[in-house]
Chains A and B, each alone.
Chain A
Amino acid sequence: MCLAIPGKIKSIEMQYDGRVRMAKVLFGGITKEASLEMLPDADIDDYVLVHVGVAISKVDEEEAQKTFKYLEEIGELGDLTDVDEYLPKSN
């Protein structure tokens, strides 16, 4: 359940008589509108998770890298010389 994908906020505007904060979110080249009513602190260039037209969380960049460091942390990543190659590239 709960298909939600991460996208980057391109622009924000107030709609419906200035009451609803809506964002244009960029998902790998395509753009779709999403409501920011659940994320009052979200801003342009933030990555947010969008589910059925509503942004429900901001992506934490630092936490995002931990999946790639976890094995090393628990002491098992012996022969992986460069963990950085797995980390999300900033683009």
Chain B
Amino acid sequence: MSENKKLRMQLQCPMPKLDFDVITLGHGSGGVLTNTLLDSGVFDLLSNDILDERHDGAFLELEGMTAFSTDSFLVSPIFFPGGNIGELAVNGTVNDLAMCGATPKYLSLSFIIEEGLPVKEFWEILVSIKFACEKAGVKVVTGDTKVVEKGKGDKIFVNTSGVGPIHKKANISSKNIKVGDKIIISGNIASHGMAIMSVREGLEFESEIQSDTTNLNRTVLSLIEQFGSDIHLLTDPTRGGVATVLTEIAQSSEVGIDIFQKDFPIDEQVASACELLGLDPLYVANEGLFIAFVSESEAHSVLETLQQDKNGQNAKIIGRVVTEHPKQVIIESAIGGKRVISMLPGEQLPRIC
């Protein structure tokens, strides 16, 4: 998100005058302080008819098959180029629901705040959450706030859970993957992870890399509306990157996956940053990105349609499902050699070797 946009957001939602600068344990204990914080902030900003009831739970009317998803967000630093933990939390669950072929409707929102977090930062995160919700068309209908002692948290952890009706034409399941399916990626890889790296102490570098966090629900649902059950599987390659998510899919199936290094779209600066730190972009985290397994016959139409969407301009076909080497993902390198993609033992770390 641009600096201008951020500024406009803050101007539209100025922080109320409060007689405290930092969040303290008292703010999470459920008493007067808690109400002051929530009344002056959370409820006002996120106000909607369901949340305004302020009951212990939200009353919802849901119809038909419903998707339900949850995710917790621990990103550090909490403010990074292109966004912050707030919008990440909204977009993350919105996108998980979209990957189920569902229209995200209602979210829960929980905070675990480390004592000492400046209220100004909390407010900025809330404002981002408000705008992310509006953009995605979702409502926060229930939530919780707790405060932990200093040292027992990492500034702030956020959890969002979400529900939404599954599109009638959606038929998303890993069981639907067929040999011949083409694998489409919606845009440039590794942007989010490298945006975080660019501001991580000890590894920082100057760049214009921004996190790609955004809501993908409209993009995905319009594809489902148009192509229905030709879209066999959707998934978003967040932690662990594209390589991890494809390996998981292959290992739990009876098919093999072939992917091609030369076809992966990647921003030049992101690629350079990966070279600098010795990271393989295929294992770097993404946020506003999804992978679709599409029937062979419709793959090119899906691709063309996606490329017209603002969230899919860099979309490419990066691989296909094959009968050979079941349960394995094999990548053809830039020079034509092949190797098996495997899962990393843990988070990928920068290296000098």
Which A residues are within 8 Å of any B CB, using their own CB? 1-3, 5, 24, 27-32, 51-52
Contact = CB atoms under 8 A, between A and B. Distances in A.
8 contacts: A5-B276, A28-B268, A29-B268, A30-B198, A30-B273, A31-B205, A32-B276, A51-B352
A30 B272 contact: yes
Contacts of B198: 30
Contacts of B271: 28
Nearest to A50: B276
B269 A32 contact: no
Contacts of B278: 3
A32 B352 contact: no
Contacts of B269: 28-30
B272 A3 contact: no
B352 A30 contact: no
B208 interface: yes
A58 B38 CA distance: 59
B207 interface: yes
Contacts of B352: 1-3, 51-52
Given A28-B272, A32-B206, 11 more contacts: A3-B278, A5-B276, A27-B272, A29-B268, A29-B272, A30-B198, A30-B205, A30-B209, A30-B276, A31-B205, A31-B207
B136 to A, nearest CB: 31
A32 B205 contact: yes
Interface in B246-273: 268-269, 271-273
Interface in B116-172: none
A58 B207 CA distance: 23
Given A32-B205, A32-B206, A27 B353 contact: no
B52 to A, nearest CB: 46
B275 interface: yes
Nearest to B271: A28
Q: Ordered nearest first, which 3 A-B pairs have the shortest CB separation?
A: A28-B272, A29-B269, A31-B206
B55 interface: no
A32 B352 CA distance: 16
A27 B272 CA distance: 6
Contact of A27 (B209, B276, B351): B276
Contacts of A31: 205-207
A27 B268 contact: no
A1 B206 contact: no
A56 B275 CA distance: 17
Contacts of B276: 5, 27, 30, 32
A27 B206 contact: no
A52 B277 CA distance: 9
